[in-house]
Amino acid sequence: MDSNGPKDLRDLALRLRLALSRSIWKLGPRRLDKPPSVLVISPGGVASTLVIQQVARHVDVNSASDRDGLKHLPRRPNNSVRALLITGDASAVTASLSRRGYLGIHCSKLGNPLGVLAPLRIQEAIFRREIRQQRKSFSRSRHPTLVVDYDELWDNIGRIASFLALEDTSFCEDFPAQAERRNLR
Closest CA to 54 of 173, 181, 180: 173
pLDDT of residue 71: 97
pLDDT of residue 103: 95
pLDDT of residue 133: 97
pTM of the model: 0.93
Pick the CATH number of 9-166 from 1.20.120, 3.40.50, 3.90.1200, 3.40.33: 3.40.50
**Per-domain boundaries in the chain:** 9-166
The C-alpha atoms of residue 156 and residue 97 are separated, in whole angstroms, by 23
Low-confidence ranges of the chain (pLDDT < 50): 1
pLDDT of residue 28: 86
pLDDT of residue 1: 46
